[in-house]
Amino acid sequence: METEGGITVRRALELPGLRAGLPEVLTCADRLDRTVRWVHAGEAPNIPALLKGGELLLSTGLGLGSRPADQRAYVRKLADRGIAALVVELGARFERLPTAIVEAARTAGLPLVQLHREVPFVAVTEEIHTEIVNGHYALLQRAEEVHRRCTRAVLGGGGVPQVLGILAEFAANPVFLETPDGRLLFAAGAGPVGADPLQVWEGLRGARAAREAPPAGALLVEVPGGGLGAGSVRARLVLLAVSGPLVTVHRMAAERAAGILAVVLMQARQEDEVAARGRGDFLTDLAEGRIAPGDAPAQAGVLGFRPGGDPLLPVVMRLAPEPAPSGSWALLARAVTEELAKVGAPVLVGVRPVEGRVPLLLALRPGTTRAALGDRVAAALRAGAGRAGLERAGDRTPVVVVVGAAGGWAAAGAGLRHAAEAATAAQGLGERPWYDARSLDIDLLLWRLRDHPDLASFVDRAIGPLREHDRTSRPALLPTLEAYLAHAGRKAEAARELHLNRQTLYNRLARIGELLGTDLDDPQAVLALSLALRARRHTLQ
């Protein structure tokens, strides 16, 4: 059994020093798992006043008094001080412990042990102290290993989620990072029988009344802030004992993790980003089917999203694949949240830095069309990305905003997944304020086939001669074919887009048909060419 930084009375009696004295437990044998914090030997009548609690007191009985009333009072004082046990060596004062002492110890709930042989108290003290120190060192080693793992995670590019995950795994209990006023920033670890940590927090920690003090058995460790005051607190770590007890080593590990979190939060100012990552994890879990639709509303409510019975509109913004500058995700999360507040609809927005995505859900209020809400949301997302410095004029890979189909919670996960995949497939398409996920289904299908050699062969057969022509000759003909197909064969509109007169366009189309050996008025040929032009973005050629 792990103790709070010591050894048990039972273990102390098993060590060679006391075992040599033939110990006999006279009272409270069921309390031998008490923790021995220290060992003291003494005979003074006033020794109870010198003790702090948790000691194993060694005595020859000389200080216990000769009258039964004095003996009972002495034992009661020891019990009141909270010592772990009283061990009396027979021979110097008693042949056998008096009934008054034994009954007083039994009444007070104090383990009482008599030794039938003389033992050197100095050797006993040294032996038990060595065991206690070794126990403390073992605890320190375990806590330091957690510290080392957290440090490696941060140096490897991880942040708050990784640190909390390591601590939750070590404690085998859910871990939460809160603001000083009790607002949830991030959750990690599972509750009982795999319960989601957000549900655990809502049940045991989410009520305002419970935030003033941690629930029974919980650990609360403050994450120091960057202020000059001694009481400056940036956040709080809360460990809830729902899957098992929390003991000293868990507090030691949490205190070390709190130090790392303080550095991470101070360097990256991650409070907003951590909260946004937590929401991004929830939305991603919902999209990937790890959260059941029936559980989603309650978990979303913990994160502050309560859409009522309105349909949910899934939206995903995908950023350029290049790594974002340091701290930009925190700025993006804050800026996007502020811009979306102007939309006037309940919204849950998260960030997924690894994938370069910003997933969100919005409530589609009565009287608001999907198209109108899509326009407003796309404008807010782009404005937030611009404020964070992640969308600038002239970028070769501007942000892409994709809006999915509106529906209830049962459809929200699939809608988010569809929008996220479509946003990836839309990279490189012509710039638009936002894309309808359903209009990108062909691009998404081609993107999924991007590594298949047959797709590259198809593109080469369909438009290979044009690509070869454009590498060596002018004018380039692929833009002409793209404009012609984009306008569904309407030559006048294609000519206007290309700033060509009609005859020039006719000549180029004729040249294209000649190079490809196909008829541009044939619907099957037009379909094949349209697919090839869309597929070439995803091939390696």
| Centroid of chain to Cα 241 | 18
Phi first, then psi: give them for residue 351, nearest 5 degrees.
-130, 150
Q: How confident is the model at residue 22 (pLDDT cuts 50, 70, 90)?
A: very high
Beta bridge partners of 178: 184, 236
DSSP 453-496: HHHHHHHHHHHHHHHHHHHHSSS-SHHHHHHHHHTTT-HHHHHH
**What pLDDT band is residue 339 in, cutting at 50, 70 and 90?**
confident
Contact 186, 161 (CB under 8 A): yes
Q: Which two tokens stand for residue 495?
A: 């000519």
| C-alpha–C-alpha distance, residues 82 and 79, integer Å | 5
| CB proximity list for 8: less than 8 A, separation 6 or greater | 1, 32, 33, 34, 35, 36
Banded pLDDT at 215 (limits 50, 70, 90):
low
- Model confidence over 384-410: pLDDT tens digits? 887 777 765 445 446 899 999 999 999
Specify the pLDDT at position 192: 54
Which of 3-7, 171-175, 216-220, 332-336 has maximum average pLDDT?
A: 171-175
Note the pLDDT tens digit of each residue in 455-512. Answer: 888 888 989 898 889 888 888 889 899 888 888 888 889 889 889 998 998 999 999 9
- Which range, 21-30, 123-132, 450-459, has the best average confidence (pLDDT)? 21-30
Per the prediction, the chain carries an average pLDDT of 83
Q: So what's the pLDDT on residue 348?
A: 92
- Domains of the chain (ranges plus CATH)? 7-119 (3.40.1390.20), 146-268 (3.30.450.40), 288-447 (3.30.70.2730), 449-538 (1.10.10.2840)
Lowest model confidence (mean pLDDT) among 17-31, 68-82, 162-176, 317-331: 317-331
Share of the chain above pLDDT 70, in %: 88
pLDDT band for position 201 (cuts 50, 70, 90): low
Identify the three-state secondary structure at position 243. Answer: coil
Nearest to 164 by CA among 285, 69, 281, 2: 281
* Predicted local distance difference test score (pLDDT) of residue 394: 47
The per-residue pLDDT for range 258-309, each reduced to its tens digit, is 988 888 877 655 566 777 888 888 999 999 998 999 989 988 888 889 998 8
> Which stretch, 80-89, 219-228, 314-323, has highest mean pLDDT?
80-89
Residue 395, SS3 per DSSP? coil
Cα angle 65, 66, 69 (rounded to 5 degrees) comes to: 80
Residue 401's φ and ψ, nearest 5 degrees, are -115, 125
User: What confidence score (pLDDT) does residue 371 get?
Assistant: 92
CA distance 514 to 491: 18
Average pLDDT over residues 305-333: 78
Q: How far apart are CA 10 and CA 288, in angstroms?
A: 51
Does 3 score more than 70 pLDDT?
no
pLDDT score for 424: 86
- Residue of 216 and 307 predicted with greater confidence: 307
Highest mean pLDDT among 314-318, 424-428, 487-491: 314-318
Contact between 377 and 362 under an 8 Å Cβ cutoff? The reply is yes
| Most confident among 134-148, 160-174, 254-268, 404-418 (mean pLDDT) | 404-418
pLDDT higher than threshold 80 for residue 231 = no
- Is pTM beyond 0.75? Reply is no
Share of the chain above pLDDT 90, in %: 27
Per-residue model confidence as pLDDT tens digits over 427-466: 777 678 899 999 988 888 888 888 888 888 888 898 989 8
pLDDT at 301: 86
Q: Lowest mean pLDDT: which of 46-60, 392-406, 418-432?
A: 392-406
**Per-residue CA distances from 117 to 8, 15, 88, 102 (Å):** 22, 15, 10, 19
Residue 210 is predicted with a pLDDT of 45
Residue pair 8/104 in contact by the 8 Å Cβ criterion: no
